[in-house]
Amino acid sequence: MSTSLKLKGQSALVTGANSGIGKGVALALAKEGANVVINYVTHPEAAQEVVKEIEDLGGNAIAIMADVSKEDEVQHMFQEMFAHFGTIDILVNNAGLQKDSPFKDMSLADWQLVLNINLTGQFLCAREAVREFIRRGLVPERSKALGKIICMSSVHEVIPWGGHVNYATSKGGVMMLMKSMAQELAPQKIRVNSIGPGAIQTPINRPAWDTPEALNSLLTLIPYNRIGQPEDIGNLAVWLASDDSDYITGTTVFMDGGMTLYPGFSTNG
């Protein structure tokens, strides 16, 4: 691989990287020269396919199983990563899910499941990454920052979402987790930012795009008039992980085709 690659020699961990956005991000980081851990919790064969795709491009990847909401599994995953790649430079906290229901019917189990994976999972992975960044210290030939954390949030960290109260609450929590970590850790040269995707074409939201009627209805919420792709998010993740964004910390970059622009007001409300 050429020396002009933006993430050459850096090691990245992407959670939930055997599907959708996580897969797109893992491929994009690998194309820029990063060694990548493909975390998964189900479908090991899909994780191996991503590893193979990266290896076919001349990159390095391994798949590691861990449920991000389980402290011991997360710690074990990081130890396995360090044994294989030596350290971590980039964490992409991507794993997440939805368990939707009307508020009055929402079970405590579904509330806790979504919070445990979407929010506590990001805390557990970020804490292990930060511990390693500080233990290892700065490696100036690899990056100007001690380490970079990218949290996969959502437009729903700011857009309330009826019928999805647990999910929207988890993403609102991710926003404050990200900002508070960024504030505390900036003096140590650790950068923490979020990506706020709008509608990206992945399995999580299949009913919203898999018929022409559903897609047309979705597009009324997207001024840019197309659904996003995992590659869009991959490009942004590369930039946020690279020294090109070295002065950015504590920010959510929305990548949503304008979904957060209140499109319902475009014709006078």
Ligand X SMILES: NC(=O)c1ccc[n+]([C@@H]2O[C@H](COP(=O)([O-])OP(=O)(O)OC[C@H]3O[C@@H](n4cnc5c(N)ncnc54)[C@H](O)[C@@H]3O)[C@@H](O)[C@H]2O)c1
Residues labelled catalytic: 167
Residue with Cβ nearer ligand X (99 or 136)? 99
Region binding ligand X by CB under 6 A among candidate stretches 26-34, 89-97, 177-185, 241-249: 89-97
Which x/- pattern, by CB under 6 A, does the window 182-221 give for ligand X?
---------------x-xx-xxxx----------------
Which x/- pattern, by CB under 6 A, does the window 137-156 give for ligand X?
---------------x-x--
How far is the first Cα of the chain from the last one, in angstroms, to the nearest whole number?
A: 52
Residue with Cβ nearer ligand X (96 or 234)? 96
> CB within 8 A of 37, min separation 6: which ones?
11, 12, 13, 14, 17, 61, 62, 63, 64, 77, 81, 84, 85
How far from 62 is each of 3, 40, 54, 137, CA to CA, in Å? 22, 11, 10, 24
Residue with Cβ nearer ligand X (138 or 214)? 214
Region binding ligand X by CB under 6 A among candidate stretches 30-38, 88-96, 244-252, 258-266: 88-96
Bridge pairing between strands 252-255 and 90-93: unpaired
- What phi and psi values does residue 35 have, to the nearest 5 degrees? -80, 135
d(CA 162, CA 74): 31
**Sites for ligand X among residues 52-71 (CB under 6 A):** 67-69
- What phi and psi values does residue 203 have, to the nearest 5 degrees? -60, -25
Q: Which two tokens stand for residue 234?
A: 């991959």
Q: How far is the CB of 140 from ligand X (least distance, A)?
A: 32
Strand spans (E) along the chain: 11-14, 35-40, 61-65, 90-93, 147-152, 190-197, 252-255
How many residues touch ligand X under the rule CB under 6 A: the total is 28
- Amino acid at residue number 186: A
173 binds ligand X (CB under 6 A): no
Q: How far is the CB of 223 from ligand X (least distance, A)?
A: 16
Q: How far is the CB of 141 from ligand X (least distance, A)?
A: 32
d(CA 182, CA 189): 9
Q: How far is the CB of 65 from ligand X (least distance, A)?
A: 9
Q: How far is the CB of 145 from ligand X (least distance, A)?
A: 23
**Sites for ligand X among residues 12-51 (CB under 6 A):** 15-16, 18-22, 39-42
By CB under 6 A, name the binding residues for ligand X: 15-16, 18-22, 39-42, 67-69, 94-97, 117, 152, 154, 197, 199-200, 202-205
